[in-house]
Chains A and B, each alone.
Chain A
Amino acid sequence: MRMRRLSRRHVIKASTAFAASTVFASPLRAAAPPAMAITPALVEAARREGKVVWYTSVDLPLAERIAKSFEANFPGIVCRVERSGAERVFQRIGQEYASSIHAVDVVNSSDAAHLIVWKGKGWLEPFVPEDVARHFPDEHKDPDGMFASFRIFLCPMGYNTTLVKTEEAPKRYADILDPKWAGKIVKAHPSYSGTILTATYQISRDIGWDFFERLAKQKIMQVQSAADPPKKLALGERALMADGIEYGLFQSKEKGQPVELIYPAEGTPLIVGPNAIFKGAPNPNAARLLQCYMFTRECQQLAIDYGGLRSAHALAKDKPGRTPISQIKLMKDDAAEVERLSAEIKMRYSQIFKV
């Protein structure tokens, strides 16, 4: 219930370059603990623990690259990545915690609503890395210091450039309902992917469920993770993707694979993926160190340059050749509403698409 209150309060406040996430904005700064820097004492304590486990829905190669860069910076600490769709990660942590299994140290979810739930249950540790305090705008950090936006990305459409000519490529969501695209579209699933759940919420809110009902008649290829559609495009298995991760398309395109992004005229869903530490973390110091490291400019820049993500870090630089977020019409994210409607969206979706 507390979350709903936050959401209303925020409606007045939201006005930044990024359509702000309701979860973050709040004047109650006093509740957050003081910011913490990476100190030799923290590194030493983390090294004694020797390992840290990061549950995440970040596309696997990028997640592992981030883990490896952490290990390279802090030798002697192994970072293990537990990667799966955000909705599955959420279910997994719930299942483990219900059985008093505390295996997760740090979590990242592409469904910001999850953080609201975990925070409400009192599972998260208040912890503010120095970079978050100094370089992250208010709308990208929790007022109580429980989490902050590790990553920002969009959920655009895309096409395979060898199968579709640029001038024939769809420009808006309505275009892909044309019967000529029947059997040529790949799409991910909101029951597994937090990105897609968030995007489904925003599209159904701004365009209407009618869009999905008509899309279901297009004989789409249904996959699970939002990371998969860009890969199916690159393989040439389908000509169009109705949704999927922007950063996957960036990576693929910059490797020279025949894919191109479409930012639909109606607006592109905005996805915010916060990071948090669990109170019951088995490796609390390593967890804090990882949390600190992941918000440094270095790690954020790695996520941008190698991974194709976007960052709320004030010092991080966009990579040339990618459309800046300021030039894209965005749909507004609203984690509290996603949290409220999550089960309903999943049910309605599976009734429409039969899977």
Chain B
Amino acid sequence: MAIPARVVQWRALKIDVSMPMLASVAALLCVLIALPVSWLVYYSVTAHDPATNVRNLTLAHFHTLFTDPDFVDPLITTISLAVSSAALSCGVAAPIGWLVARTDLPMAGAIRALVTASFVTPPFLGAVAWEILAAPNSGLINQLYRATTGAQQEQYLLNIYSLPGLIFVISCYTFPYVFVLIANALDRIPADLEDASAMLGAGTWTTARRVTVPLVLPALLAGILIAFLQAMILFGSPAILALPAGFHTMTTKIWSMFQYPPKPELAAAASLPLLVVTVVLLRAQHMILGRKGYSVVGGKAATPRLIALGWFVVPAIVFVVIVLSMPVFLPYFALFNAAFSPIATTLMTPANATLHNVYFTFVELSSTQLALRNTFILGLASASIGTVLALVIGYVTARQAVRGHRILAFLATAPIAIPGIVLGVGLFLSYTRPPLVLYGTLWVLLIAYVTIELPAAYQQMQSAFHTINPELEEASRVFGATPLQALRHVTAPLLRTNVLATWCFIFVSTIRELSAAIMLFTSETKVVSVLIFDLKESGDLGAIAVLGLSMLVLTFAVVIGVNRMPGFGGARLRNT
């Protein structure tokens, strides 16, 4: 590219802070991720010898892992769980994403908001709600089933304490990830590409097959991948449903290994297969997508065209309502009932309605305020720091701005393979010793949250960058901007809604995070998810319902508030 001599001269005089800043981001990532992972690897291949007080190299933990049925069974369960949940999530999310983004389905905005509600719902809260609905004997749905069919006391329609039950509940709260990726990708495909296809004589289905589907393929693949990984590393729902059902997943098994007497070495070894699976999947995704380009947002604007559904609108609406009742309508009905009913599985009536649970949660329960405060401080801080990190790393890797950007991409993606619970232990090992003694402070939780949410945030930003044609930035660079200036003045504003979506995404994910927090909290740094988990342990369903519902209201208040913030004016509420 020919650059006029004057511009080159002018640029040479300016200090470009891009490189040092990017280098420090890379260094930060190394500390964030490499430190706990190194500790995990070190623990997985060593054993403490009490006689000499040194750690000796050994592969005994891996031998146990792959021969002891106590570990092999959870491993098999986890893989089948993750595959089934990914398939179920995509099977449901893809059609709804298409209906909402590309058809004239009424109330598309409301549907997006409801999917957001299901995303905001912590999976463990959903699992508790589904216990109230579908526990084989006391579950509301099973009670209804027996009342309407006259079935015997022992008979039931659904048993949530089972592997299919767990797969179902996990899918309920994983499908929003897939939906958001697919719907946003479909939103971005401009009509002119499809118009071009139509003008060249292709029918609706040919256009869909040859143009639309290939354009959303990256999003679909990313969705399947995220659904699989989310299901694999989820801790809350299995902890609530698998134990009563009498089986372990890898995450609950790992957690049980940190109960007294703790066995961190075995837990570290148990987490490494999950890391390997993830790395292999990410490589596979990369190979499938290859070097195809998918830039669809250029300097020219074009809005997508909506397909008229006609009579098909009726089955479409029925389908959407049924799907949304699983993660949203039914669970929130159950939670609402549990909050105001004397017994969670008794239907509330005006006669028996009680405010006892509300009183208990906000007046008697002494950890409520502390946990709420910690949770919101951490949510705001993690979201802000995480978004900036994801933006910078996404930019660097999408534009291949510095050498070694692949390492950056790997570092930013790697945490997704580490179950939060194991990352929690890695962080625990890293930050309970000098020079950085952070355990017992909110800082260690902040580090955990940023690390855990970075992969998804980075994926979002990176795929957003891929849809923006570099020509706009190149123009800015030609006129003398440094890469960071180009990012700030050109690309970031174009990505405003994505940035906002990523912020909200991290905020919400932080609020619902349990698995790392369960390892890292102390009594002073307790968060709401841990409090709910403790309440669940002793079966206090009413308090869980009140706390869960309040948390949801507060979360929505923050998300909506941020989206209405001046300076972001006009940005609509995205399905974060």
Interface size on A, residues (CB 8 A): 60
Contact A81 B243 (CB under 8 A): no
Number of A-B contacts (CB under 8 A): 131
Question: Cα distance A219–B159 when bound, in Å?
Answer: 13
B153: A residues at CB distance < 8 A: 163
Contact B246 A101 (CB under 8 A): no
Question: Cα distance A60–B543 when bound, in Å?
Answer: 11
| Interface residues as binary, B80-112 with A (CB distance below 8 Å gives 1, 0 otherwise) | 000000000000000000000000000000000
Residue B367 interfacial (CB < 8 Å) = yes
B73, B248, B345, B365: the one contacting A64 at CB < 8 Å is B365
B543: A residues at CB distance < 8 A: 60
In the complex, which residues 64-114 of chain A have their Cβ closer than 8 Å to any Cβ of chain B? 64-65, 67-68, 78-85, 87-88, 90-92, 94-96, 98-99, 101, 103-104
Residue B138 interfacial (CB < 8 Å) = yes
Contact B259 A83 (CB under 8 A): no
A55: B residues at CB distance < 8 A: 523
Question: Cα distance A350–B261 when bound, in Å?
Answer: 13
Contact A88 B243 (CB under 8 A): no
Q: What is the CB-to-nearest-CB distance from A352 to chain B, in angstroms, rounded to a whole number?
A: 11
Q: What is the CB-to-nearest-CB distance from A155 to chain B, in angstroms, rounded to a whole number?
A: 15
Question: Cα distance A98–B246 when bound, in Å?
Answer: 33
Question: Cα distance A237–B243 when bound, in Å?
Answer: 15
Closest chain A residue to B431, Cβ basis: A99
In the complex, which residues 523-576 of chain B have their Cβ closer than 8 Å to any Cβ of chain A? 523-524, 534-535, 537-541, 543
Contact B537 A192 (CB under 8 A): yes
| Interface residues as binary, B123-164 with A (CB distance below 8 Å gives 1, 0 otherwise) | 000000000000111100000000000000110000001000
A98: B residues at CB distance < 8 A: 432
Closest chain B residue to A79, Cβ basis: B366
Question: Cα distance A220–B246 when bound, in Å?
Answer: 8
Closest chain B residue to A347, Cβ basis: B261
Whether A84 contacts B534 in the complex (CB less than 8 A), given A98-B432, A354-B246, comes out as yes
Of B161, B524, B537, B541, chain A has the most CB atoms within 10 Å of the CB of: B537
Contact A60 B523 (CB under 8 A): no
Report the interface size class on chain B. Answer: 35 or more
A163: B residues at CB distance < 8 A: 153
Residue A283 interfacial (CB < 8 Å) = no
Contact A91 B262 (CB under 8 A): yes
Question: Cα distance A99–B247 when bound, in Å?
Answer: 33
A59, A88, A228, A234: the one contacting B259 at CB < 8 Å is A88
Whether A64 contacts B366 in the complex (CB less than 8 A), given A90-B260, A232-B539, A235-B343, comes out as yes
Q: What is the CB-to-nearest-CB distance from B25 to chain A, in angstroms, rounded to a whole number?
A: 29
Contact A59 B343 (CB under 8 A): no
B154: A residues at CB distance < 8 A: 183
Contact A80 B366 (CB under 8 A): yes
Can you name 14 extra interface pairs (CB under 8 A) apart from A59-B538, A232-B138? Answer: A64-B366, A67-B366, A81-B366, A87-B260, A90-B260, A91-B262, A92-B522, A92-B523, A103-B523, A103-B524, A192-B259, A237-B137, A343-B261, A351-B70
- The 8 lowest CB-CB distance pairs between A and B, nearest first, are A228-B539, A231-B539, A237-B138, A227-B538, A101-B440, A91-B260, A225-B538, A235-B138
Chain B residues near A (Cβ < 8 Å): 70, 73, 135-138, 153-154, 161, 242-244, 246-248, 256, 258-262, 343-345, 360, 364-367, 370, 428, 432, 437, 439-440, 522-524, 534-535, 537-541, 543
- 16 pairs, CB–CB < 8 Å, chain A vs chain B: A55-B523, A60-B538, A61-B360, A64-B365, A79-B366, A83-B534, A84-B537, A87-B260, A92-B522, A221-B244, A222-B244, A225-B538, A235-B345, A236-B137, A237-B136, A342-B260
